[in-house]
Copies of this chain bind each other. A is one copy, B any other.
Amino acid sequence: MTDIPQPRKSPRQLRSQHTVDTILQATARVLATHGYAGTNTNLIAETAGVSVGSLYQYFPNKNALIAALHQRHDNQMLDVIDGVLNSNPAATLTERVAAIVQAMLHAHLLEPALHRVLEREFPLFDTPREHSLADQDIHRRMRHLLELHRAEIAQQDRDLATYVVLRIMESLVHAAALEPPAGFSTERLEQAVVDAVMGYLATPGGAVPRKRASAPKAGKPATRRKTAG
């Protein structure tokens, strides 16, 4: 539980790097096909065509394998955001958010079973979501994106907004990709994620009087101004 999930040794040789990759692939496959409960290091090693001993040469323990997979996933997400940031400089925020959501969804749809497991099994869950480096990078990139489009955003606190947007994206993309509710196409769900993100950003925020407010007049929806000229 309190293990350091770092690769035991950084593979300097090519062969080692290849072995590490193979093991990780095997871990993903076993996790996806057998679920967490059915996953064990011996099976992973066997699937990878490697001996258990070798596995432990590169990963100090089972948790490290899962942590590495999380790492990998975080990096993929990071790449997704980076890709969007670095292309089409003229795009609107909505377009960019849509592009990110679409790419995320796509990534999750490649191995839904694996992601279903990864979503639940976070080996170091004692430590309060000790953000991985990639995780911090993701935050930074997203914050940068919001900064770029600050004119299109009603939310004032961009740091908080970054956090909220990432949470919304994560949960809704997971929902859409991994446990899609019956009756809705992936396209509509995808659109819903974008709606949720953009809707939040378009909201000034903090407008609701907390507790004990004299009951507002009527059913008028939250008033909203266009966020940009």
Using a CB–CB distance below 8 Å, which chain A residues touch chain B?
1, 35, 37-38, 88, 90-95, 98, 116-117, 120-122, 125-126, 128-129, 149, 151-155, 157, 159-160, 163-164, 167-168, 170-172, 175, 179, 181, 183-184, 187-189, 191-192, 194-196, 198-203, 205-208, 210, 213, 215-216, 218-224, 226-229
Contact = CB atoms under 8 A, between A and B. Distances in A.
A176 B64 CA distance: 27
Contacts of A219: 90-93, 149, 151-152, 228
Nearest to A170: B171
A34 to B, nearest CB: 9
6 contacts: A94-B207, A120-B120, A128-B179, A151-B221, A168-B168, A191-B208
Most buried by B among A117, A199, A200: A199
A210 B226 contact: no
A212 to B, nearest CB: 11
Complex copy number for this chain: 4
A167 B224 CA distance: 23
Contact of A196 (B184, B196, B221): B196
A215 B91 CA distance: 7
A200 to B, nearest CB: 4
**The 8 nearest A-B residue pairs measured at CB:** A171-B171, A199-B199, A199-B203, A152-B221, A199-B200, A196-B200, A195-B205, A221-B227
Contacts of A122: 120
Most buried by B among A88, A126, A171, A223: A171
Most buried by B among A208, A223, A227: A208
Contact of A192 (B1, B126, B128, B164): B164
B215 A226 contact: no
